[in-house]
Structure 1
Amino acid sequence: MNYTEVNFDGLVGPTHNYAGLSYGNVASKTNANKVANPKKAALQGLEKMLTLSHMGIHQGVLAPNARPDLTTLRALGFSGSDSNVISQAAKAAPQFLKACYSASSMWTANAATISPSSDTGDGKVHFTPANLNNKIHRAIEAKTTGNILKATFADESVFTHHAPLPQHTLFGDEGAANYTRLADSYGHSGLALFVYGEDMNSKVKPQVFPARQTRQASEAIARSHLLDPAQTLYIQQNPNVIDQGVFHNDVIAIGNENVFLFHEQAFYQQKKVIAQIRQNYTGTRPLHLIEVTDADLSVDEAVKSYIFNSQLVSLPNGGMALIAPSECQAIDSVERYLASLRQASNPIDEVIYMDLKQSMQNGGGPACLRLRVALSQNELNAVNPNCLMTDKLYNTLNTWVNKHYRDRLVEADLADPSLMLESQQALDELTQIMNLGSVYDFQKS
C-alpha cells in the first residue's frame, strides 16, 4: 500500500507575542518582552507550508488554539463579562494573563504523538494529544488541540483518538518532539524511538532545567497505540544537554525513514543507544546513523542555530532535503557542517534555508512548527480536505491573516479587551474556512 508523510504545520495565532514563558528554552527567555509581529509570524509559517507543497511534499494545516483562554481565567477566579475578566487578570495576575494569551500551539510538534497504521496492532492511525503539563501556558492546550485533531482526522474507521495522559508530573508528555521512527519507508513497520528526559524510578535527571518528558508517559502512549514492544525503544536524553537548553529531543536529534541525525551528546549512555538502534532496526534499506561530533558543532551552536530542529523530508523523486532555519547560515561552523553533510555518503542531498525568525525568537524552528503524520492513500482521503494545503487555501489564509492580524504586539496590549475580540472574530472565520465546526469554547458561550 502506498504511504506518504504529511507535515501538518501549526497556523500561528493572532496573539503571537514574546512573553518569555518557557523556562529551559533559551530563545524564549532571551527574547522576552520584545515587540512581536503576529502578521509576519503567520505569513512566514504559511510561506514554509507553500514551499513544501510546491516541492511535492504533502502539507497540512492545523488551526491554532483560541486565545485568550477565558475558561482558564474564569477557573482562576476572574468573573463578569469577558472584558472584565481580561481587565481583572491584567491587574491582579499579569503572568496568568500572559499564559492564557500564549500562541504556543503554533508548535504542533508538541501537539500529539501519532503512530501510523503500519505500526499499530489494529491497523489504525492513533493520536494522543500531549498534556504538556510542565508549563501552564501549554498545559491548557490539550483539550482544544484534541478537538482540532478530531475535526481534522474525523473518520473513526481509520483514526483513533485517545485522551491526553493525566495531568500529573509522573506523566509529563510533550508529544512528537520527543518521538521519531526509523523505517524502510513510511508504509513499512518502523522502529519507534521514544526519548524521555526523566524516569521517575531513576536518579538520572537534569539539575538546572526540568525534564519535560517522562519514561512513564512514553510507555503509556506506546501501550495505548498498540505498538509492538519488540519494535519500541525508550531512550533517555542526556541530562547535561537539557541543562544547556535542549528542552526537547528535536533540538538535538532528527530522524526520517532510514536516516537518524544526532549530536554525540544527545543521549545518556549513547554508545549503548546506538547499539540498540542498530540491533532493533529491521529495514532492508541501509540505516544511516549520522553522529555530529563536538568538533563539528558544540551543543551551544546547535541550540543557537537550531540545526537539529530542521525538517528532514523525503523528496518525491528520491533523496532527502533538510529544511533549515536561516539562523544556520549565521554561524560559520553550522553552515560548513551542512555543506559537508550534503557531500557525504547519505540520502541528504539538499539543504533549503527558510526565514522563520518570528517563531525562532520564541524558541521554535521548522521542526517545531510541524506534526508529522504518515498516512496511506485511503487515510489521506479521509482527512478534512479543508486542512490540506493548496494554492487556493494558501491565498485564502494569506488574505485572512492580512485582514485580522496586527503587525505589532507588546505585553501591554494583552490588557486591551479589543485584542480578545479581534482574535475571536478571526478564529470564528477560520473555523468556516477550514470546516472545523465548534472547536473553540468561545463559540459555545
Structure 2
Amino acid sequence: MKHFEANFDGLVGPTHNYAGLSFGNVASLSNAKESSSPRQAAKQGLQKMKALHDMGMVQGVLAPQERPDIFALRRLGFSGSDAKVLEDAAKKAPQVFRACCSASSMWTANAATVSPSGDTADNKIHFTPANLTNKYHRSLEPVTSGNILKAMFNDEKHFAHHQHLPDNEHFGDEGAANHTRFCSEYGGAGVELFVFGRYAFDASKPAPTKFPARHTFEACEAVTRLHQLNDNNIVYMQQNPNVIDQGVFHNDVIAVGNQNVLFYHEQAFLNTQQGLDEIQRKMGDTQMHFIKVDTADVSVEEAVKTYLFNTQVITLPDGHMAIIAPTECEENERVHAYLQSLVNMNTPIKEVKYFDVKQSMRNGGGPACLRLRVAMTEQEKNALNQNVLMSEALFSTLNSWVDKHYRDALSENDLRDPQLLIESRTALDELTQILKLGSVYPFQL
C-alpha cells in the first residue's frame, strides 16, 4: 500500500497582526506592534503550499481561527454588543485585548500531536490538540483546533481524536513543535521522539531560569498513553535549559527530523548521545543519519534569527530529501554556506529550496511552524475531507478568497474596529463552505 507524509499548512487569518505576545520568542518580541499585511501573509503561505504540491507532495490546508476572540472577552466579563466588547476591552484591558487578537494559530505545528496508524495499537491515526497553557493567547486555540481537525479527518474508521490535556502547566503541551518521528517507510512502525523542557512534578531536575519551559515530560507521557504507543517505539529527550534561555522556545527551532534523519544543533538537548543511541537502537536495522551543527559553524543566535532548524525536511517523490528553508537562511552568509556544504555531505539531504515567508518569520515562526505533518496511507488519504487538499483549483479559489476579504495592511488600532470583525467572520464563514468543514467556529454555533 502506498504511504507518504502529508503536510497541512495553516492558512493565515484575515486579522494577522504582530502583537509581540510570546515571551521567550525573540522574533515575536522584536517585531511587536509593527503593521502587518494579512493579504501578503496569506498569499506567502499559499505560495509555499502550492509549491510543495507542485513538487509532488501531498499538501493540505488548515483553516485559521477567529480573531478577535469575542467569546473569550465575554468570558472575562466584557458585555454588550460586539462593538462595545471590542471598545471596552481595547480601552480597559489592552494587553488582554491584544492576546485575544493573536494570530498565533497560523503555526499549526502547535495545533496537535499526531501519531500515524503504523505506530498505534488500534491502527488509527491519533490526534491530540495541544493545550498551549504557557501563553494565554495560545490557550484559546485547542477547542477550535480540535473542531477543525475533526472536520478534516472525519472518518472514525481511520482517525481517532482526543480532548486536549488538562489546562494546567503541569501538563503543558506544545504539540508537534516538540515531536518528530523516525521511520524507514512512512507506512510502517516508527520511533516517535517526544521533546520536553522540564519535569513538572520534580523541581530538582534541570530547567531554564530566564525563559519558560513550555512543554512538560508529564504531557509527553500522557499523549503516548492516549495514542496507544508501544514503549519500544518511544524516546523522550529533554531540551537543553541553556538553549531555551537563548530563545529556543520549541524544539523545532533547534532540531528537525524526517525518516532516518535528525538535523540538530549541538546545544539542542541534554544527554544528547544517550538519546541518539536510544533512537538508533529502537530503529533497529535502519541506519540513522544524525547531522550535528556545531556552534562554531552556526551559533544558537544565528539559528534562531534565520530559523535554520525551523525548516522542513521532506522526502520528494524520487526518494531524495530536500530542505524547505526561509529566505533568511539564504541571506545569512554563514548559514547559507553551511546549507551549501550540507547538500554535499553523505546524507539523504541533497537539495535546499528557499521560500519567502517573511510575514510569518516576523511574527516568530518559520516554514516548520506553518505545517502539521501527518504520515498516512493512500487509503487514509482517501478517507479524509478531500476539500482541504491543495490543487490548482483550490489554490485559485483561496487566492481569490483572500483578495476579496483580506486587508492589505493592519495596525494594532485596526483590531478594535467592529467592521474588521464583521469582515473576518464573513471570510471564515465562506471558507468553511469552500473547505466543507461545517460549523467549526463559535460564532457559527
Shorter-chain TM-score range: over 0.9
Name the residue aligned to 2:105: 105
| Counterpart amino acid of residue 236 in structure 1 | Q
Name the residue aligned to 1:379: 380
Q: How does 1:345-364 map to 2 (within 5 A)?
A: 345-364=346-365
Name the residue aligned to 2:116: 116
- Aligned equivalents of 2:57, 2:378: Cα separation in 1: 14
Name the residue aligned to 1:37: 37
Unpaired segments of 5 or more residues in structure 2? Answer: none
The alpha carbon displacement at 1:185 in A equals 1.4
Provide the TM-score with structure 1 as the length reference: 0.99
CA deviations 1:389-423 (Å, max 9, x no partner) are: 00100000000001100111111111111111110
- Aligned equivalents of 1:416, 1:82: Cα separation in 2: 10
Task: Using the TM superposition, name which of 287-296 and 126-135 deviates more.
Answer: 287-296
The alpha carbon displacement at 1:186 in A equals 0.6
**Matched position secondary structure for 1:254:** strand
Given candidates 274, 278, 281, the residue that maps to 1:279 is 281
**Matched position secondary structure for 2:181:** strand
| Counterpart amino acid of residue 38 in structure 1 | P
Q: How does 1:27-426 map to 2 (within 5 A)?
A: 27-200=27-200, 201=202, 202-282=204-284, 284-426=285-427
Name the residue aligned to 1:438: 439
Identity among equivalent pairs (%): 60
| C-alpha contact (below 8 Å) 1:53/1:59 kept by paired residues | yes
The alpha carbon displacement at 1:191 in A equals 0.8
- CA-based RMSD of the aligned residues comes to 0.8
Provide the TM-score with structure 2 as the length reference: 0.99
| C-alpha contact (below 8 Å) 1:11/1:42 kept by paired residues | yes
- Aligned equivalents of 1:146, 1:194: Cα separation in 2: 21
The alpha carbon displacement at 1:95 in A equals 1.2
| C-alpha contact (below 8 Å) 2:236/2:275 kept by paired residues | no
CA deviations 1:89-110 (Å, max 9, x no partner) are: 1111111111111121110000
| C-alpha contact (below 8 Å) 2:176/2:372 kept by paired residues | yes
- Aligned equivalents of 1:353, 1:73: Cα separation in 2: 39
| Counterpart amino acid of residue 44 in structure 1 | Q
**Matched position secondary structure for 1:143:** helix
- Aligned equivalents of 2:279, 2:161: Cα separation in 1: 29
Unpaired segments of 5 or more residues in structure 1? Answer: none
CA deviations 1:52-96 (Å, max 9, x no partner) are: 000000000000011111111000000011111111111111111
The alpha carbon displacement at 1:368 in A equals 0.2
CA deviations 1:351-410 (Å, max 9, x no partner) are: 000000000001100000000001111110011011000010000000000110011111
**Matched position secondary structure for 1:289:** strand
- Aligned equivalents of 2:281, 2:38: Cα separation in 1: 46
| C-alpha contact (below 8 Å) 2:196/2:237 kept by paired residues | yes
**Structure 1 outlier segments of 4+, above 3 Å:** none
The alpha carbon displacement at 1:278 in A equals 2.0
Q: How many residues align?
A: 443
The alpha carbon displacement at 1:285 in A equals 3.6
| Counterpart amino acid of residue 268 in structure 2 | A
Q: Aligned pair in 2 of structure 1 residues 271, 285: CA closer, same or farther (>3 Å)? A: closer
| Counterpart amino acid of residue 189 in structure 1 | A
**Matched position secondary structure for 1:308:** coil
| C-alpha contact (below 8 Å) 1:288/1:346 kept by paired residues | yes
**Matched position secondary structure for 1:309:** coil
CA deviations 1:198-248 (Å, max 9, x no partner) are: 112243100000001000000000011000111101110000000000000
